[in-house]
């Protein structure tokens, strides 16, 4: 498991775009949030076939 | 004294009768809820539960334990990463609800309590950063002190006062956040999950069609 260790005992790396500055860690989290947001919209949700008759009865009621 | 005029009857009619068990604990959801974007609210609550549970352990064991023992390091990390996931899930939940205009259908109070929960979470997170009792928290506390002084509120919120920060983080702010979150969930249950915009259009059309058939 030692190979999983990441040495964080150093100053953070920053990306600077003019007046805007963001650390590599924060940028990674922001990109990760965009990715899971896109995945939540794109990926199909598991379908429960056994519940289909119940859902149709609800629509009737 | 008539039963209707007693305060217990008034409280009952103002609360219990408005919160029907079928609304608070439903066993069916509309078909449009079968989407991953609707999962992030409950993921946020699950992360909050992990934060509270690990926070309880950290509170009872104390800083010497979470700094020195292996189990302490582990529980401290569980607390940190639960907060990271809490904010990630909450932000995705916020994006989803913003783009589907989740305040539609008289759900404005639900939207506002969600915003309040977001801001209360940020303040709670900040107080958590300054009670780590390490060099990182000392640095953050001194920087925050300058910020609060610049805003003119340094006399009320002294980030160098670790006792104040700890009390805010483990008692007052979780209480405030807990009340807002419970209020938010109750409103979601009472008003129902907001439908997608196209679902509202189709529902309106189907009702019009049914009325024409009648």
Q: Convert the pLDDT of each residue in A20-49 to its tens digit.
A: 999 998 999 999 999 999 999 999 988 765
Backbone angles phi, psi at B48, to 5 degrees: -60, -40
| ipTM for the whole complex | 0.78
Ramachandran region, residue B81 (left: φ > 0; alpha: ψ -120 to 50; beta: rest): alpha
Q: Supply the pLDDT for residue B203.
A: 61
User: Which residue in chain A is spatially nearest to B39 when comparing CA positions?
Assistant: A40
Q: Supply the pLDDT for residue B154.
A: 87
What are the pLDDT digits (tens) for B133-167? 999 899 999 999 999 999 999 888 899 999 999 99
What are the pLDDT digits (tens) for B10-69? 888 888 777 878 788 888 888 888 889 999 999 999 999 999 999 999 999 999 999 999
Q: Does B92 touch chain A (CB under 8 A)?
A: yes
Q: Supply the pLDDT for residue B146.
A: 93
| Interchain proximity B36–A29, CB inside 8 Å | no
Contacts of A11 by beta carbon, 8 Å cutoff, 6+ apart: none
CA proximity to B110, closest of B189, B34, B32: B189
Q: Where are the domains of chain B?
A: 35-99, 109-206
Among A32, A43, A47, the residue with its CB nearest the CB of B36 is A43
Counting every residue written for chain B, the total comes to 214
Portion of chain B with pLDDT greater than 70, in percent: 91
Distance in Å from the first CA to the final CA of chain B: 50
Judging contacts by C-beta atoms under 8 Å, the chain A residues touching residue B88 are 29, 32-33, 36
């Amino acid at each position: 498991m030692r190979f999983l260790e990441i040495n964080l005992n150093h100053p953070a790396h920053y990306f600077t775009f003019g007046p805007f500055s963001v650390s590599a860690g924060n940028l990674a989290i922001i990109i990760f949030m965009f990715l899971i947001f896109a995945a939540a919209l794109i990926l199909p949700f598991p379908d429960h076939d056994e519940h289909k008759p119940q859902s149709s009865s609800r629509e009737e009621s | 004294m008539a039963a209707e005029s007693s305060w217990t009857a008034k409280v009952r009619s103002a609360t219990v009768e408005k919160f029907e068990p079928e609304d608070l604990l439903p066993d069916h959801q509309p078909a449009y809820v079968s989407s991953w974007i609707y999962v992030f609210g409950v993921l946020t609550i699950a992360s909050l539960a992990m934060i509270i549970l690990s926070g309880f352990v950290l509170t009872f064991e104390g800083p010497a334990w979470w700094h020195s023992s292996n189990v302490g390091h582990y529980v401290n990390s569980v607390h940190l990463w639960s907060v990271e996931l809490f904010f990630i899930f909450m932000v995705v939940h916020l994006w989803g609800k913003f783009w589907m205009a989740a305040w539609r259908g008289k759900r404005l109070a639900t939207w506002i309590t969600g915003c309040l929960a977001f801001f209360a979470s940020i303040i709670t997170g900040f107080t958590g950063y300054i009670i780590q009792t390490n060099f990182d928290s000392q640095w953050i506390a001194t920087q925050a002190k300058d910020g609060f002084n610049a805003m003119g509120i340094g006399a009320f919120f002294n980030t160098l006062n670790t006792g104040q920060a700890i009390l805010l983080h483990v008692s007052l702010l979780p209480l405030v956040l807990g009340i807002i979150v419970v209020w938010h969930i109750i409103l979601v249950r009472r008003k129902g999950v907001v439908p997608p915009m196209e679902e509202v259009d189709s529902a309106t059309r189907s009702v019009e069609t049914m009325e024409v058939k009648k």
